[in-house]
Amino acid sequence: MPAEALSYDESLRVALEQAREAGRAGDHPYGAVIVTGQGTLAERNRVESERDPTAHSEVMAVRAAARQWGLAALAGATLITSFEPCPMCCGAILEAGVGRLVIGARRTVGEAPLGAYHVEALPPIQNPIIPNGAAFHTKPKTRPQQQPDQDRPESVTRQRYGVA
């Protein structure tokens, strides 16, 4: 699928359908869509079905995109997720070099098991604006083939976008 084929709204609908599919399969009801220059793919949570506590939808999308298009394709990608990513997923998103994170729904701060955690509490994700889903921007990770872990996301800017 072409990289610009889906709007944030459409991508969020796909992520929500992935979440419904995960729930029907007995997994946690979360979904994600990743958009790179190489294409677009969707994934769902698979924690229960794969018996893997790290198989969150965001991690599954990053893994699938890296397998399909290579690590360099993730630099500057957009990840659209049905729900606010946990700290583990945020680490994977930042390490992969994803340049934009769009969130469909926020968790209730103070709720177990993450307590006061919220995604912008993890540097470098700070000061987001949350209009009908959130857009977080990070400096895309450059990933030269010979030195894949050389650069890390360094700065975050915020930008409001309109969701129709």
The residues annotated with a catalytic role in the active site are 58
DSSP symbol at 34: E
Instruction: Kindly state the helix (H) or strand (E) to which residue 59 belongs, with its residue range.
Output: helix 57-69
Which pairing describes strands 78-81 and 100-103: parallel, antiparallel, or unpaired?
Answer: parallel
Instruction: Kindly state the helix (H) or strand (E) to which residue 44 belongs, with its residue range.
Output: strand 39-44
Measured over the CA atoms of residue 85, residue 91, residue 95 and residue 100, the dihedral's sign is: positive
Which stretches does DSSP call E strand in the chain?
31-36, 39-44, 78-81, 100-103, 134-138, 156-158
Residue 86, token pair as written in the block: 């946990």
